[in-house]
């Protein structure tokens, strides 16, 4: 039973976090704070390269 309650609390916390992040993203988009798909892809590539160079696991 404790495991069920623990899992339920974790799920609720994640759902709350996710909803806050979506709201922040929507607010940023409404304010015009956007980047192009090319910029997003380039940043993801740079982050992956930094991770690889630092030796961090995936």
pLDDT of residue 55: 86
pLDDT of residue 1: 85
Coil, strand or helix at 35? coil
pLDDT band at 58 (very low <50, low <70, confident <90, very high): low
Average pLDDT value for the chain: 94
Per-residue pLDDT tens for 28-52? Answer: 999 999 999 999 999 999 999 999 9
Whole domain around residue 32: which residue ranges? 2-54
Cβ partners under 8 Å of residue 35, min gap 6 = 43
The tally of domains found in the chain comes to 1
């Amino acid at each position: 039973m404790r495991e069920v309650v623990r899992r339920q609390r974790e799920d609720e916390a994640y759902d709350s976090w996710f909803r806050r992040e979506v709201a922040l993203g929507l607010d940023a988009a409404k304010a015009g704070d956007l980047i192009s798909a090319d910029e997003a892809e380039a940043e993801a590539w740079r982050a992956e390269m930094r991770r690889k160079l630092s030796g961090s696991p995936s």
